[in-house]
Structure 1
């Protein structure tokens, strides 16, 4: 009876359409857009704020780069770990919609806490609230989309494409506007962080007051009928393989060590507190503990895999190989918010005059205003369809867009009126979203054509494109003297690097989760997604750790040598994974 009611709710949901899709999809589009606005807006500022001189026109905290990047790495890694917990709580206890509201509220408080610069405790509190809020929010937005298109699989690809555009629109606007406000001496870091909080609040209120548009979708946890689960076990690959008490004990120990290490890394650098203040067998306590956790993880992984049937075992090995490559992809790609932001701030010529200033102003106007006009048109269509029923939610959404337009007009007018323009260091981050929006449709067409390559080739090409981006930076930085703290190289190198990185991302990031869903049985999806997100979290932490070595490597070798590390490793892994194509095809047993 409940299933029939839910299906009826879904059908009602599809009666109200905007641009060929349910109006509720665009409620999710804008909610996700504001959340990504706040996340990427804050992320763009974090390292710059921490490392900026305490004596400058826009004083920061003057932290060493290593300390700032340790914080950055731990924050971004936790952002991929907490969704595992947040998804579980939503599935079992509060439902997707309440999880989104709770997550948005926590993130709003987190951003506003970071806007208070008087004491580091507010920043740590803010980051903690953002991590937990993200855990509730991130997995459950996509779960609502999946649930409402459950009986309309033919429309699901188009829905996720629209949703993905919301993600990138928010990232684009967040980095552009929070970055501009935060870096501007006329405003300052607090206003940048605060702006991120304001739009997260707008996203939460808009979702809360418009949520009835979803009917029953996402309101309550869905409990599977035990008889249905039993009936689903139809072959050897589907047989249950429950975790033993020994397995759970090992997993618990790994989790405690890993989480403690991620927190301890920045804490031990910034303060005198060190949870692993010992040495063992010539290793520091920190290195010994993380190696121990890694050995235990490999042990439990091998133990678990060996207990499955040969075919399923092969498929799981294929997923783990792809996840291993993913670690190194994100360890390099996430330099965007760390070492590449530092490179943009301190080593790139960003002051433009004359014709260069005019060309940049025109280009910046077009890439800002054109997408905003398109998104505003979507907002207008949503208004026309839903205002009568959900006036308050629509008014809140419109208020957000009025604020956006005011800031954009102010920013552009300032750029045109100034004799010279200084491009914000955070501006380069918007190139990733811009290139994704521009190139994703073309790449998608290739994946749908007869030229669609195997997963290994996509991963290999993606890694080599990523390495090429860093090769461009290594070449551009070749004239920077050893140990230099500042320089003024051409902006062109960063633009090219972001282009190659984005093309690499399009080859790797969207493909990974798709293969996980294809290779493992439905009952194991959650566990394997957990392993996949764990791989991304590890990659993000490595990104912060490696990025924090920029001063040490630059002092001992050169800036080019630093970027060459991120060139050689991805390219070598790219070649390696392509050579593994015959083996991976065999392990996948016909899955494409």
Structure 2
């Protein structure tokens, strides 16, 4: 068994802004992976509902919105599988590389003009590939540093910057090419982006990563492998056969599938909570913290339900309800997808400074979540104003969308990094990794529920749509703020 110190000693510890050289490899790998993913997402909705004569698939807009939400949900759910494969079979480095290959082929398939067949085939490849890559590449970053290395938090901040830089430029490039020239050409750029990321990873991992990510923490024995692979093979074949039969009988429609995912988005985290709470390995203090985590989980779900609609409902709003001309200059609706990472890059250092500045005076975790929900609710409630004063028949200023994205990013910076930190503190000792998976399920569950909610949006009912969702988020935020002292009691000393 390789020790943590042996892994750290195998990595060149200086060479990338004072950080291990391996951070350079992972920074640019994740940069290009996010470029490919967010570039694809910037134009995918339009590709689905644009008419065939415009190069799209001509789907109903409500169906396209629902597919986008299900897609995002499955991407986050698949991370559970990716973590298991890395822990039991391949280690994180090999799992990340295999995931990148699947993602690249997913974009290649989408770049081919094959209609719904290539769309769903591409989605399957990218969902599985992202599940293999996304959770595990962050784990490798942690392997670069000794446990007491003061550079660790700074290293993750640099890595997080790479994620947002890739997400920032992708809609500007892929969005422009996809909408102004050809959707499939845009998807091919996403494939090229992932290919570049794989090249960077392959040619730098041996020299810069050393043993990081190479060990398998809990490998399957030979007997276990045979049993597990047999079960997996039987399961895949059974699901494929049942799915084929249901599709042929007309039972498994897109609407039925999205409903199944929506139900799973509620059932899976519920099972997680029940198992952790009832486990004999969870002591009394940990049981109390599990209970404290439930309202935080619900609040995070509500937040992501709004934030993730930026690439669905607000993307549709940008395309159909927004005046995209600034003087003689035309804006692409896909460019609005760059606002979220732009504001995060600009504001993340401000929030990091603020928490240090406030020290012990900063709000508790439940109150930060409440403030995050307040800003998320405002990001939807402000979208009522142009429709209320000008109706839904006229185009609105793009600055309303800019304001909406700005407000939700303020909420994200209050909730997302705080949620990651709180998860590590509130997790029962025996369920540390599973609780981190549970945190990522807040997004998966939110998008699973969104798969039903986004079907309800039309330009004609947008006052009701934005108003109800914004009001629900505001209500949950107020309840969380009001009951924050009680939740803090259940957190048993964790602030």
TM-score of the two chains, using structure 2 as the length reference: 0.88
**How much has 1:534 moved relative to structure 2?**
2.4
Tell whether the 8 Å contact from 1:351 to 1:421 is kept in structure 2 after alignment: yes
Tell whether the 8 Å contact from 2:32 to 2:197 is kept in structure 1 after alignment: yes
Which residue of structure 2 aligns with residue 74 of structure 1? 70
Distance 1:152 1:541 in 2: 38
CA deviations on 1:429-481 (whole Å, 9 max, x unpaired) are 11111110111111111222323210111100000101111111111222464
Which residue of structure 2 aligns with residue 221 of structure 1? 216
Distance 1:118 1:296 in 2: 34
Question: 2:376 matched to 1:466?
Answer: yes
Which residue of structure 2 aligns with residue 370 of structure 1? none
**How much has 1:53 moved relative to structure 2?**
2.4
Which residue of structure 2 aligns with residue 494 of structure 1? 401
Which residue of structure 1 aligns with residue 335 of structure 2? 427
Distance 1:306 1:9 in 2: 36
2:196 to 179, 196, 202: 202
Distance 1:339 1:123 in 2: 20
Distance 2:131 2:51 in 1: 33
**How much has 1:293 moved relative to structure 2?**
9.0
Tell whether the 8 Å contact from 1:335 to 1:544 is kept in structure 2 after alignment: no
Identify if the C-alpha distance between structure 1 residues 122 and 29 changes in structure 2 by more than 3 Å, giving closer, same or farther: same
Distance 1:560 1:310 in 2: 46
> Residue 52 of structure 2: SS of its match in structure 1?
coil
Identify if the C-alpha distance between structure 1 residues 171 and 292 changes in structure 2 by more than 3 Å, giving closer, same or farther: closer
**How much has 1:323 moved relative to structure 2?**
1.0
> Residue 150 of structure 1: SS of its match in structure 2?
coil
Tell whether the 8 Å contact from 1:69 to 1:545 is kept in structure 2 after alignment: no
Distance 2:7 2:274 in 1: 44
Which residue of structure 2 aligns with residue 105 of structure 1? 101
Q: How does 1:141-220 map to 2 (within 5 A)?
A: 141-184=137-180, 187-212=181-206, 213-220=208-215
Which residue of structure 1 aligns with residue 437 of structure 2? 530
Question: 2:120 matched to 1:124?
Answer: yes
CA deviations on 1:222-279 (whole Å, 9 max, x unpaired) are 349xxxxxxxxxxxxxxxxxxxxxxxxxxxxxx99xx99xx99xx99xx9833499xx
Tell whether the 8 Å contact from 1:447 to 1:453 is kept in structure 2 after alignment: no
Distance 1:295 1:217 in 2: 35
Distance 1:547 1:90 in 2: 34
Tell whether the 8 Å contact from 2:265 to 2:449 is kept in structure 1 after alignment: no
Which residue of structure 2 aligns with residue 576 of structure 1? 479
Question: 2:470 matched to 1:567?
Answer: yes
**How much has 1:8 moved relative to structure 2?**
4.0
Identify if the C-alpha distance between structure 1 residues 15 and 327 changes in structure 2 by more than 3 Å, giving closer, same or farther: closer
Which residue of structure 2 aligns with residue 274 of structure 1? 251
Identify if the C-alpha distance between structure 1 residues 274 and 328 changes in structure 2 by more than 3 Å, giving closer, same or farther: farther
Identify if the C-alpha distance between structure 1 residues 292 and 197 changes in structure 2 by more than 3 Å, giving closer, same or farther: closer
Distance 2:465 2:299 in 1: 21
Question: 2:441 matched to 1:445?
Answer: no
**How much has 1:176 moved relative to structure 2?**
1.4
**How much has 1:286 moved relative to structure 2?**
8.8
Mind listing any 5+ residue stretches in structure 1 that lack a counterpart?
A: 225-254, 278-283, 354-419
Q: Which moved more, 1:134-143 or 1:60-69?
A: 60-69
Q: How does 1:36-115 map to 2 (within 5 A)?
A: 36-56=34-54, 59-115=55-111
**How much has 1:291 moved relative to structure 2?**
6.5
Tell whether the 8 Å contact from 1:480 to 1:559 is kept in structure 2 after alignment: no
Identify if the C-alpha distance between structure 1 residues 509 and 294 changes in structure 2 by more than 3 Å, giving closer, same or farther: closer
Identify if the C-alpha distance between structure 1 residues 456 and 151 changes in structure 2 by more than 3 Å, giving closer, same or farther: closer
1:343 to 300, 317, 320: 317
**How much has 1:547 moved relative to structure 2?**
1.7
CA deviations on 1:104-151 (whole Å, 9 max, x unpaired) are 000000001001123321111111000000011001111101111134
Which residue of structure 1 aligns with residue 228 of structure 2? none
Identify if the C-alpha distance between structure 1 residues 223 and 538 changes in structure 2 by more than 3 Å, giving closer, same or farther: closer
**How much has 1:152 moved relative to structure 2?**
4.2
Which residue of structure 2 aligns with residue 379 of structure 1? none
Identify if the C-alpha distance between structure 1 residues 15 and 565 changes in structure 2 by more than 3 Å, giving closer, same or farther: same
Identify if the C-alpha distance between structure 1 residues 141 and 564 changes in structure 2 by more than 3 Å, giving closer, same or farther: same
TM-score of the two chains, using structure 1 as the length reference: 0.74
1:516 to 410, 417, 423: 423
> Residue 22 of structure 1: SS of its match in structure 2?
coil
How many residues in Structure 1 have an aligned counterpart in Structure 2?
471
Identify if the C-alpha distance between structure 1 residues 168 and 147 changes in structure 2 by more than 3 Å, giving closer, same or farther: same
Distance 1:203 1:98 in 2: 14
> Residue 176 of structure 2: SS of its match in structure 1?
helix
Tell whether the 8 Å contact from 1:111 to 1:197 is kept in structure 2 after alignment: yes
Q: Which moved more, 1:319-328 or 1:13-22?
A: 13-22
Q: How does 1:191-590 map to 2 (within 5 A)?
A: 191-212=185-206, 213-223=208-218, 273-275=250-252, 298=270, 301-302=273-274, 304-307=276-279, 308-353=282-327, 420-448=328-356, 449-450=358-359, 451-479=361-389, 481=391, 487-551=394-458, 554-555=459-460, 558-590=461-493
Identify if the C-alpha distance between structure 1 residues 162 and 352 changes in structure 2 by more than 3 Å, giving closer, same or farther: same
Distance 2:120 2:408 in 1: 30
> Residue 99 of structure 1: SS of its match in structure 2?
helix
**How much has 1:15 moved relative to structure 2?**
3.8
